[in-house]
Copies of this chain bind each other. A is one copy, B any other.
Amino acid sequence: MADLGVNVAGVQFNNPLIAASGTFGFGREYSEFYPLSTLGGISCKGITLQERLGNPPPRIAETPSGILNAVGLQNPGVDHFIAEDLPWLRQQNTVVISNIAGNTPEEYCQMAEKLSDTDVDMIEMNISCPNVKSGGVQFGTSCESVGAITKAVRRCCKKPLIVKLSPNVTDIASIAKSAEAEGADAVSMINTLTGMRIDINTGRPIIHNNTGGMSGPAVFPVAVRMVWQVAQAINIPIIGMGGISTWQDAVEMLIAGAAALQIGTVLFSDPYAPIKINKGIAEFLDKKGLQSVAELTGTINPW
C-alpha cells in the first residue's frame, strides 16, 4: 500500500491532511471523535500576542456550497497557548503547527520568538485574516509588505516558517515569490475569500463584521487555480487548502501542486471527513501504482 506520509520543509507528517487553522480549535473537541493522530497535523486556531475576545455574533453565514465567517481571531493569547494547549497537543502524536497573527511586525516577531522556544513543529504566519481590522491582512496584499514581514519574522523564528497567503489579491504568484525570497520555508493557501450576505428583510449584513471570509466547496476552483499558479512560481512546498471536501478534491489539489493539504469547513459537514479523504487518497495512489503522495504532487499536465 502507498505511503501517505509527506515531508514539508523537513517536517514529517503521517499523512497529508492537516486540520485548517480556526476550524479545529486546539484539537480537544475533535479528539472526542477520533484520535488526533488520524490527522497528519493540526494548524491551531490563530493566536495573537494578547488574548482577543473576537467579533460580536453573528459570526457565520451560509452561502451556496460555502460559508462566510468572521470570528475575529478570538483566542486566549500566545502565552496561554504555550502553557495550556501545547503540552496536551504534544501528546496527540500529530504535527503541531502554531498559527499566528499580529497587529505589527514586532508582534509577529515576539510570538515567533516565544514559540521558537517551545516544541511546536512549525509556525504558520497568517498575514491574510480578513476579519479583523488589524489582523494581518494589510501585510498580505502587497509583495513589499509580504517580503518585509517574512524577512522580519524569519530572523526571529527558529522553526520552519509557513506563510499563509490571501486569495484576495491580483497576483498571488508574485506574493508567494516575495515570501520565498525572504526565507519562508513553505506557503499555505488559500485563506478565505472576502464575501458578504445581507438579510433582505432587515437590510443588515448577516455577519456582524459586515463582511466575512468565504470557505468551503464554492472556493475550491479558485484555490486550485492559485495553487497551480504559485507552484509554477516558487520552489518551496505549498500546503493547499480551500474547499477540499472529498478525496477527489484532495487528489486534485495535490495534482495542482500541493505537497500537503489543510481541510477546514468540511469538518463542519462531516467530522469524519479526514478519515474518508485519507482512505480515498490511499486507494487512488494504489490504483495509479504510485508509492507516495509526493509522486502525485504537481503532476498536472496542462494543455
Stretch in A41-49, A82-90, A114-122, A207-215 touching the partner: A207-215
A204 x B301 contact (CB < 8 A) = yes
* A222 contacts partner chain B, Cβ-Cβ < 8 Å: yes
A194 x B222 contact (CB < 8 A) = yes
Contacts of A216 in B (CB 8 A): 64
A210 x B170 contact (CB < 8 A) = no
* A235 contacts partner chain B, Cβ-Cβ < 8 Å: no
Complex alpha-carbon distance, A205 and B195, angstroms: 27
Which residues A196-220 have CB closer than 8 A to chain B? 196-198, 200, 202-205, 208-211, 214, 216-220
Q: Would you give the shortest CB distance from A104 to chain B, in whole angstroms? A: 21
* A63 contacts partner chain B, Cβ-Cβ < 8 Å: yes
A63 x B221 contact (CB < 8 A) = yes
Stretch in A5-13, A18-26, A28-36, A247-255 touching the partner: A247-255
B64 x A220 contact (CB < 8 A) = yes
A224 x B198 contact (CB < 8 A) = yes
B299 x A203 contact (CB < 8 A) = yes
B65 x A64 contact (CB < 8 A) = yes
**Can you tell how many copies of this chain the complex includes?**
2
Contacts of A252 in B (CB 8 A): 197-198, 200
B303 x A208 contact (CB < 8 A) = yes
- Given B194, B208, B210, B222, which contacts A195 in the complex, CB threshold below 8 Å? B222
Complex alpha-carbon distance, A215 and B193, angstroms: 15
Given A197-B252, A200-B248, A228-B196: A220 and B63 interface contact (C-beta under 8 Å): yes
Number of interface residues of A (CB under 8 A): 49
Contacts of A225 in B (CB 8 A): 194-196, 211
Q: Would you give the shortest CB distance from A211 to chain B, in whole angstroms? A: 5
- Given B200, B299, B300, which contacts A205 in the complex, CB threshold below 8 Å? B300
* A168 contacts partner chain B, Cβ-Cβ < 8 Å: yes
Complex alpha-carbon distance, A248 and B224, angstroms: 30
* A66 contacts partner chain B, Cβ-Cβ < 8 Å: yes
Which residues A168-183 have CB closer than 8 A to chain B? 168-171
- Given B68, B169, B198, B256, which contacts A198 in the complex, CB threshold below 8 Å? B256
Complex alpha-carbon distance, A256 and B243, angstroms: 26
Given A203-B300, A300-B203, A301-B204: A196 and B218 interface contact (C-beta under 8 Å): no
B302 x A210 contact (CB < 8 A) = yes
Complex alpha-carbon distance, A170 and B146, angstroms: 14
Contacts of A170 in B (CB 8 A): 141-142, 168-170
Q: Would you give the shortest CB distance from A289 to chain B, in whole angstroms? A: 13
Complex alpha-carbon distance, A117 and B265, angstroms: 53
